[in-house]
Amino acid sequence: MSFEAPARKASWSNWAGNQHVASVSLFKPRSEEEIQQVVEFAISKKNRVKVVGSGHSFTAIALAEDVLVDLSDYDAVIAIDKLAKTVTVQAGIQLSKLNSILHENGLAMQNLGDIAYQTIAGSISTSTHGTGIKFTGIANQVVALRVVLADSTVVDCTSTSNSDLFNCARVGLGALGIISTVTLQLVSAFNLSVIEQPMRVDELLENLDHHIALNDHFEFFWVPHTGWALTKRNNRTLEPAEPMGKMSHWYAKTLMENYAFGAVCMFGKSRPSLIPKLAKALPASGKTTYSDASYKVFASKRIVKFYEMEYAIPREACAEALNRVRRLVEDSGFFLNFPVEVRFTAPDEIPLSTASNRESAYIAVHIYKGMDFVPYFKAVESIMNSYQGRPHWGKLHFQNSQTLAPRYPNWNLFQSVRDQVDPKRLFANTYLETVLGK
């Protein structure tokens, strides 16, 4: 494949439809050599390069300005080592495909977020995480990377070789190069037993430490305009899976969580003042228990489109911060038809990980697609600012490099690696200029 000829011009937009570009040069390389050729092409044209995953970021982090590299044809599993429990994959593989292949081989990722549509490289690049105070985000499961740099050379990196690049590129925001392959540390396949149950939010917050400590993967969704939270307690089990029946699964996960919820959101969008009444119907659902393979429990279908902002704050500030969000909603007159999601993770040492050097609580707010998110998100952001909150790199926020730098203890290491590997900012775009500086 040669990139002498001009590439196909294409438009692009993200999953939520709030980021789009009308005309960029699109490349779909199928090998590492072809990725290198795209980089050479961009250098020769003095273009900037943006590699995209599956477009599941809400921010403009994946917005290409000149050259767009789509790795959806570069998505194979290269090697599985069952003894060492590792897998090496091409960067464009989607987590859903990877999860199925791992399961067939008796292996699994240690923890996942709540969807699996993302690519492995896209998910680690923005610090994607799930929940579980003993577990970290996905980037911390990475043990080796191969990266195509801004001079088109390829470098291997691990915690012992090119370690600064390795540490930074695990949550690299796409700013340090094109990740070509990713090696992950896995665990043996496991089942999760699930309890989904509404709880009074005041009681839940009083016993928060207990819920976090006693469950491998604890999360909850506070339903605005109500005193209720929907909780999920997922625990590792050696018992055989007892999944929901097909019909119950379809009813709970497809009809209720997606179509019925979508209809409620659409109705609320046209009659916002009815949202508090509609919200009161949500927590009425009872307790549900089942168990299944971990990757099937962690990740769900998401059909209803929305905009999202999520902040990582010190875990011990969680109850106070959430109570401030609750008061804000009561006092402000915002009509909110999406629950506020709260999750927890262990710290890691990755410079731009949202959990870098601190045990974290994540508070995520959502707005139905097409509704004005700015006043609500800005008001919640000002609460999160008082806890040195770190925004998810792929979810909406209003920060810049000056406000972000003091919130990351190893911010300067990332900047010096960036200066070293991409001094001419081949991999920059406007979003990266805002959050990292020029």
Ligand X SMILES: Cc1cc2nc3c(=O)[nH]c(=O)nc-3n(C[C@H](O)[C@H](O)[C@H](O)COP(=O)(O)OP(=O)(O)OC[C@H]3O[C@@H](n4cnc5c(N)ncnc54)[C@H](O)[C@@H]3O)c2cc1C
Closest separation between CB of residue 434 and ligand X, Å? 13
Question: Which of 49, 51, 116, 342 lies at the binding interface for ligand X (CB under 6 A)?
Answer: 51
Q: Is 128 in the site for ligand X (CB under 6 A)?
A: yes
Of the pair 85, 297, the CB lying nearest ligand X is at 297
Nearest to 19 by CA among 53, 56, 60: 60
* Burial (Cβ within 10 Å: 0-12, 13-18, ≥19) of residue 398: middle
Q: Is 91 in the site for ligand X (CB under 6 A)?
A: yes
Q: How far is the CB of 90 from ligand X (least distance, A)?
A: 9
Check binding of 170 to ligand X (CB under 6 A): no
85 vs 176 by CB, closer to ligand X? 176
- What letter does residue 247 receive in the DSSP assignment? H
Please state, in angstroms and rounded to a whole number, the distance separating the CA atoms of residues 358 and 125. 19
Q: For residue 297, give the nearest of 185, 219, 364 by alpha carbon.
A: 219
Q: Which residues of 8-34 are buried (b: 16+ CB within 10 A; e: fewer)?
A: eebebebbbebbebeebbbbbbeebeb
Among 174, 283, 339, 391, binds ligand X (CB under 6 A): 174
CB closer to ligand X, 279 vs 428: 428
* CA–CA dist 245, 266 (Å, integer): 29
Options 124-132, 186-194, 227-235, 244-252: segment touching ligand X (CB under 6 A)? 124-132
Selected binder of ligand X within 87, 93, 115, 350 (CB under 6 A): 115
Q: Long-range contact list for 42-45, CB < 8 A, 24+ apart?
A: 42/66, 42/67, 42/426, 43/150, 43/151, 43/152, 43/426
Q: Is 435 in the site for ligand X (CB under 6 A)?
A: no
Q: What is the largest CA-CA distance in the chain?
A: 64
178 lies in the binding site for ligand X (CB under 6 A)? yes
Q: Indicate the residue among 150 and 319 with the shorter CB distance to ligand X.
A: 150
Q: Should residue 71 be labelled a site residue for ligand X when binding is judged by CB under 6 A?
A: yes
Q: Does 391 bind ligand X (CB under 6 A)?
A: no
Q: What is the CA radius of gyration of the chain?
A: 21
Task: Classify 220 as helix, strand or coil.
Answer: strand
**113-121, 200-208, 221-229, 382-390 -> range binding ligand X (CB under 6 A):** 113-121
Q: Does 173 bind ligand X (CB under 6 A)?
A: yes
For ligand X, which is the closer residue by CB, 102 or 428? 428
Helices of type H across 171-293: 201-206, 208-214, 246-249, 261-270, 275-281
> Which span (115-123, 150-158, 282-290, 369-377) binds ligand X, by CB under 6 A?
115-123
Sole binder of ligand X in the list 25, 110, 118, 141 (CB under 6 A): 118
How many residues comprise the chain? 438
Q: Is 125 in the site for ligand X (CB under 6 A)?
A: yes
- Answer yes or no: are the C-beta atoms of 63 and 69 closer than 8 Å: no
Q: Which residue has the tokens 């090119």?
A: 162
Nearest one of 131, 391, 388 to 235, comparing CA atoms: 131
Token match 């819920």: residue? Answer: 211
Could you tell me how many residues of this chain bind ligand X (CB under 6 A)?
Answer: 32
Q: Whose Cβ is closer to ligand X: residue 85's or residue 179's? A: 179
Q: How far is the CB of 435 from ligand X (least distance, A)?
A: 10
Residue 394 found at the interface with ligand X (CB under 6 A): yes
Asked if 389 is part of the footprint of ligand X (rule: CB under 6 A), the reply reads no
> In this chain, which stretch among 20-28, 54-62, 224-232, 399-407 interacts with ligand X, using CB under 6 A?
54-62
Stretch binding ligand X (CB under 6 A), from 48-56, 230-238, 248-256, 327-335:
48-56
Task: Please state, in angstroms and rounded to a whole number, the distance separating the CA atoms of residues 143 and 182.
Answer: 8
Q: Is 425 exposed, middle or buried (0-12, 13-18, 19+ CB in 10 A)?
A: middle
Q: Is 55 in the site for ligand X (CB under 6 A)?
A: yes
Residues in contact with ligand X by CB under 6 A are 15, 50-57, 61-62, 71, 91, 113-115, 118-119, 121-123, 125-126, 128-129, 173-174, 178-179, 302, 392, 394
